[in-house]
Amino acid sequence: MGLLTDPGSGRGKLTQLLVTHYDKLCIILYVGGIVWFMLLAHEHFNAGTYFSENALLPGLVKGDFDEDVLAKQYHSELLEEAARYPDGVPYPWLLAKFRQLSLDTYTHNFTLHYPLGHGTKYTGKNVYAIMRAPRSASTEALVLSVPYRPLDSIHPTTAPSVALMMCLAKFFRRQKYWAKDVIFLVTEHEQLGMQAWLEAYHRTSCGRPGVLDHGDMMGRGGAIQAAINLELHSEKIGHVDVKVEGLNGQLPNLDLVNLVHRLCSKEGVRHTFKNRDNLNHRNPVKEWLYHLKTLMAMVSTQATGVPNGNHGLFHRFGIEAVTLEGFEKRGRGSPAVFYQLGRVMEGLFRSLNNLLERFHQSYFFYLQPATDRYISIGMYMPPLGLLCAALLVKAFGLWLRMHEDPAARAESTASGAQEGAGFSVAPVGVAVLSSHALGVALLSAPQTFAAAGLAWAGLPTDASLYLGYLLAFLAAAALPLVARSSRSTEDSWTLLYIVALLELATLLLAVAVHNFSLALVTAVLYVPCALGAAPARSRLLRAAQRLAWLALHPLPLLTAVVGAHTAASFPEEPWGELCRRALHAARQALVFAVVDGHVYGSWAFGVATAALAPAWLLFWLVVSSRGRPAGSS
């Protein structure tokens, strides 16, 4: 802080060099950060996975599971029973099978009060059974979960998963080595049922009060240590994809992920990460590019903050969990059948049963370019640090240059500006406070927009929300017209620019602690535009700056990302239909972001409205200001 307050701090040669060339240094930092991160996909810059917890190794011994014939029988019976419940769950069949195995069997009811539905309610019911540990007092537990999907579901069936769960329950029942309870859970309504079950199990609520009524639970096991969510789509599996990303970007302990891959290799089950195998290219450049694509696939999934499986809701409770999704075998080659998959699950639960303490030795913060490689937090945080350093260097350089500018050496104003600065702090303070007040208003606006759209125009919820935030975006874009009428100097705009740079850097670093991928993607998009936000002399450049910042507003950015994904998913569609699909998908994505915040406690919508939108508005005021801020290069 002494550098920012000492009038003589700008007289050193190093400081003068920084003032003269800080723009070049910022570019070097930005490019260096991106190059550094891309190089992390190369095997020389990441490490091979290994076990930190030796207690997990017993599951790697020879398995005893041999109930594959029974699994096929269960599958056939379940398909017949599911035909009677095309849009629901066959509760009688599930309860009967669990009770035949002499397990403590329960149902769990829950209700969702839809936050944007004006009194709309949805109900659901989960089924779970507890196998009590014969060698302990039910102090700890493991969970095997399956999301049940009826025949008319848009998602692939999970009936084979339920069948395998049933025969695993019978097989586990015969074993005497269990030191932890094993809970077999079948959930309804995908992640909603899982969230309600977890809240009821832990007697807590994660979302907004009154939205998800998780109900009461009649039976409980011990404290849950780990969970495996199983989603098999066929009796013959081509490959098993291991999913790790959870709510708000949380990840399970790397030891659990390594255990799954190791057991799949042991049993001859083809296993992937992001549906990508480990390929050994003779060309090192091709191999690096292949691993880079896998790494970026993980970054893009984690950045959304949306769990890609039911496992992702366990992490906030300190429970390590992964999803194993098995895809139907197509083409040549030998498939993995119930026998192999059952042995994988047996090994997983035997290993987890042997744990004497919670997962703690391996990494909780990591990225994976392959199934057997990882990048630790100590390697991937410095690249983001370089991107944020570019913002800080830019802010520091502007501050020093502003104080060296002759126009900035006037006498202090009556408003109490710093001596020798010659500008008023009041306009800057008003701009910062107003932008954050607007962010808080946007965070609280979904119910108002939904109700107003329905009352005034009869619009559905998704259209009302999108239209409401679109009007808010247009109103924010017009704010510079009001700001220009205020009596503020160019130095005041420079100070606002400095505050915007510092706020963006702080926001990125804070988000990176929870969700590195989100911070990285945001930094890659925002930092170059933030570094060049000072209004240019050329009208063409000023127009380009404003167009770039309009595109970086969270709403247009969401629309662009969803549109690009839609175009990639439906390349054969004509442009008219593609635009219609993209707009509809963007509206739905906005609704899901709001609902996820209310139900699950996802903070993606909150960060976008209450943090990123105010930072965007500060930069928008800067690029729309008159002339060039004092000291800009």
- The tokens describing 262, both together, are 């190791």
Which of the four pLDDT bands, split at 50, 70 and 90, describes residue 1?
very low
Structure tokens at 274: 């992001």
365, part of any domain: no
379 domain residue, yes or no: no
Query: So what's the pLDDT on residue 71?
Result: 94
Mind listing the pLDDT tens digit for each residue in 272-299? 999 999 888 888 899 999 999 999 999 9
User: What number is the average pLDDT over the span 520-526?
Assistant: 97
Cβ–Cβ under 8 Å, residues 89 and 148: yes
In 10 A of CB 27, how many CB atoms? 14
34 is a domain residue: no
pLDDT tier, 409 (very low <50, low <70, confident <90, very high otherwise): very low
Angle between helices 490-514 and 613-623 (to 10 degrees): 150
* pLDDT higher than 70, residue 151: yes
Q: Which of 469, 488, 485, 466 is nearest to 477 (CA)?
A: 469
Q: Is the pLDDT at 483 greater than 80, yes or no?
A: no
| The pair of three-digit structure tokens given for residue 145, joined into one six-digit string | 């979960």
* More confident call, 556 vs 428: 556
The answer on 397 and 347 residing in a single domain is: no
Verify that 497 and 441 share a domain, yes or no: yes
Q: What per-residue confidence (pLDDT) applies to 508?
A: 97
pLDDT above 90 as % of the chain: 71
Q: What is the DSSP letter of 612?
A: I
Residues whose CB is less than 8 angstroms from the CB of residue 389 and which lie 6 or more positions away in sequence, other chains included: 29
| Domain harbouring 346, CATH code | 3.40.630.10
Give the largest CA-CA distance in the chain.
89
CA separation for the pair 589, 562 (Å, rounded): 8
Range of the domain at 471: 391-623
**Domain final residue, candidates 329, 353, 377:** 353
User: Do 90 and 223 fall into the same domain?
Assistant: yes
Decide if pLDDT at 447 tops 70. yes
DSSP-assigned letter for residue 104: E
Handedness of CA 9, 12, 18, 20 (dihedral sign): positive
Upper half-sphere CA count for residue 579 (Cβ side, 13 Å): 2
Q: What is the mean pLDDT of the chain?
A: 89
Mark whether 419 and 317 lie in a shared domain: no
In this prediction, residue 425 carries a pLDDT of: 80
Q: Do 238 and 129 reside in the same domain of the chain? A: yes
Q: What is the pLDDT at residue 580?
A: 93
How many angstroms separate the CA atoms of 517 and 510, rounded? Answer: 12
Summarised one tens digit per residue, pLDDT across range 220-260 is: 999 999 999 999 999 999 999 999 999 999 999 999 999 99
- Count other C-beta atoms under 10 Å from residue 57's C-beta: 13
Q: Is residue 149 pLDDT above 70, yes or no?
A: yes
Q: Which of 504 and 359 is assigned the larger pLDDT?
A: 504
In a domain, 498, yes or no: yes
The reply to whether 440 and 322 lie within a common domain is no
- Contact assessment for residue 565 and residue 629, using Cβ atoms and an 8 Å cutoff: no
Residue 398 CA to residue 522 CA, distance in Å, equals: 23
Question: Residue 406's closest CA among 633, 632, 631, 627?
Answer: 631
- As a whole number of angstroms, the distance between CA 617 and CA 549 comes to 9
pLDDT tens column, 372-408: 999 999 999 999 999 999 999 999 998 888 776 554 4
Q: Does pLDDT of 190 surpass 70?
A: yes
The pLDDT value recorded for residue 14 is 75
Kindly report, residue by residue over 293-343, the tens digit of the pLDDT.
999 999 999 999 999 999 999 999 999 999 999 999 988 888 999 999 999
347 and 493 both lie in a single domain: no
pLDDT at 403: 74
**Number of continuous H segments (helices) and E segments (strands) in the chain:** 21, 12
Domain count, the chain: 2
Give 451's contacts (C-beta < 8 A, 6+ positions apart). Answer: 118, 464
For residues 204 and 106, membership in a common domain is answered with yes
Q: Kindly state whether residue 33 falls inside one of the protein's structural domains.
A: no
DSSP letter assigned to residue 624: T
Which of these, 435, 284, 296, lies nearest to 368 by C-alpha position? 296
Query: How is residue 162 written in tokens?
Result: 């339920």
Q: Are strands 47-48 and 373-376 parallel, antiparallel or unpaired?
A: antiparallel
For 633, the token pair is: 């290069």
Which of these, 271, 289, 273, lies nearest to 281 by C-alpha position? 289
| Domain assignment present for 484 | yes
Position with higher pLDDT, 214 vs 2: 214
Do 595 and 527 lie in one domain? The reply is: yes
Q: Say what the pTM is.
A: 0.91
In a domain, 289, yes or no: no
Of the candidates 613, 594, 610, the one whose C-alpha atom is nearest the C-alpha of residue 602 is 594
134 and 230 share one domain: yes
Q: What is the pLDDT of residue 31?
A: 97
Confidence of residue 357 (pLDDT cuts 50, 70, 90): confident
On whether both 333 and 465 belong to a single domain, the answer is no
Give the C-alpha separation, 394 to 116, whole Å.
43
> Pairing mode, if any, of strands 121-131 and 320-328?
unpaired
Burial of residue 10 (CB within 10 Å: 0-12, 13-18, 19+) is middle
Q: Which residues of 58-94 are buried (b: 16+ CB within 10 A; e: fewer)?
A: ebbeebebebbebbbebbeebeebbeebeeebbbebb
pLDDT by residue (tens digit) across 431-444? 899 999 999 999 99
Determine the distance from the C-alpha atom of residue 631 to the mean position of all C-alpha atoms in its chain, rounded to a whole number.
39
- 434 and 346 share one domain: no
Q: What is the mean pLDDT of residues 116-131?
A: 91
**pLDDT score at 408:** 43
Decide if 128 is inside a domain: yes
Q: State residue 331's pLDDT score.
A: 82
- Give residue-wise pLDDT tens across range 13-33: 777 777 788 889 999 999 999
Instruction: Report whether 344 contacts 263 (CB < 8 A).
Output: yes
